[in-house]
Amino acid sequence: MATAQLTASSISVSARSLSSFEGLRASNVKFASFKPAGGFALSRRPLRCLVVQAATVVAPKYTSIKPLGDRVLVKIKTVEEKSEGGILLPSSAQTKPQAGEVVAVGEGKSIGKTKLDISVKTGAKVVYSKYAGTEVEFDGSSHLILKEDDIVGILETDDIKDLKPLNDRVFIKVAEAEEKTAGGLLLTEASKEKPSIGTVIVVGPGPLDEEGKRQALSASPGNTVLYSKYAGNDFKGTDGANYIALRASDVMAILS
């Protein structure tokens, strides 16, 4: 059987600067001398790979960031490095933050002839969509520039169940998963069906119409609702209950 030997010294990687984020960027990886045994030869064509950086680094010479339009600058809450029991968590097990403090806001947006200011103020503690916005490293801390519409709600206390949803968001207490099958068999945690039913705790003021007026949402606090299974942002309350914040359009039906 033919064998191949590859030494570390035979690999060279192009030394382009990686100091700033430019989306997905290709770099060349060249195998300078790959010599397999067995009498056959391989091409020395360069391979292509992708280099991804998590955040744009703002140089120290810039002392402020001013968001434009309906964008908001949020200082990201520090990731928890320990579990509640004090166990250090590896980076792969640390929960991606979904909360932070508003440090700057844009001038707002216009709908028709109506000028609308940003509804959140500097200093507000907010929860935002998990994959929203652009992350930037600024003044030694992680920040996020995102659209106002990507903000799920305002945190008035440290408990997620006190979330005040914005715009068309609905905040729901998730029903507990079934412990048994229809035949009476106990279910393990892994086999429990993810619930898509819950009770509405509070709703946002509604989306804006073309005249800049709020439209009331069809779901109301106290309603038991059926919602899309994979929609929204999931949270764990200090009471041990599960909560979810999602858009009103993801609520499919009211149960009675």
Assign 17 a pLDDT band (cuts: 50, 70, 90).
very low
| Residue percentage of the chain with pLDDT more than 90 | 43
Assign 21 a pLDDT band (cuts: 50, 70, 90).
very low
- Which residues make up the CATH 2.30.33.40 domain(s) of the chain? 65-82+95-155, 165-255
- The 3-class secondary structure across 130-170, one letter per residue, is CCCCEEEEECCEEEEEEEHHHEEEEECCCCHHHEEECCCEE
Assign 212 a pLDDT band (cuts: 50, 70, 90).
confident
Question: What is the CA 15 to chain-centroid distance, rounded?
Answer: 32
Return d(Cα 77, Cα 88) in angstroms, integer: 18
pLDDT of residue 18: 39
Assign 92 a pLDDT band (cuts: 50, 70, 90).
very low
pLDDT of residue 80: 58
Decide: helix, strand or coil at residue 148.
helix
Under 8 Å between Cβ of 163 and 153 = yes
| Mean pLDDT on 233-252 | 92
Give the Cα-Cα-Cα angle 234, 205, 152 (nearest 5 degrees).
25
178 has a pLDDT exceeding 80: no
List the single range of 81-95, 108-122, 128-142 with lowest mean pLDDT. 81-95
Among residues 160, 184, 201, 162, which one has the least CA distance to residue 77?
160
List the single range of 103-112, 137-146, 182-191, 238-247 with lowest mean pLDDT. 182-191
Tokens of 104: 């700057």
120 has a pLDDT exceeding 80: yes
pLDDT of residue 176: 82
Superfamily of domain 65-82+95-155: GroES chaperonin (2.30.33.40)
Return d(Cα 104, Cα 198) in angstroms, integer: 35
pLDDT tens sequence across 72-87: 999 998 765 444 554 5
Under 8 Å between Cβ of 29 and 49 = yes
pLDDT of residue 91: 41
Tokens of 185: 């068999």
| Residue percentage of the chain with pLDDT more than 70 | 64
Q: Which CATH class is domain 165-255?
A: mainly beta
Under 8 Å between Cβ of 73 and 143 = yes
Residue 73 phi/psi, 5-degree rounding, is -100, 120
Decide: helix, strand or coil at residue 101.
strand
pTM beyond 0.85: the answer is no
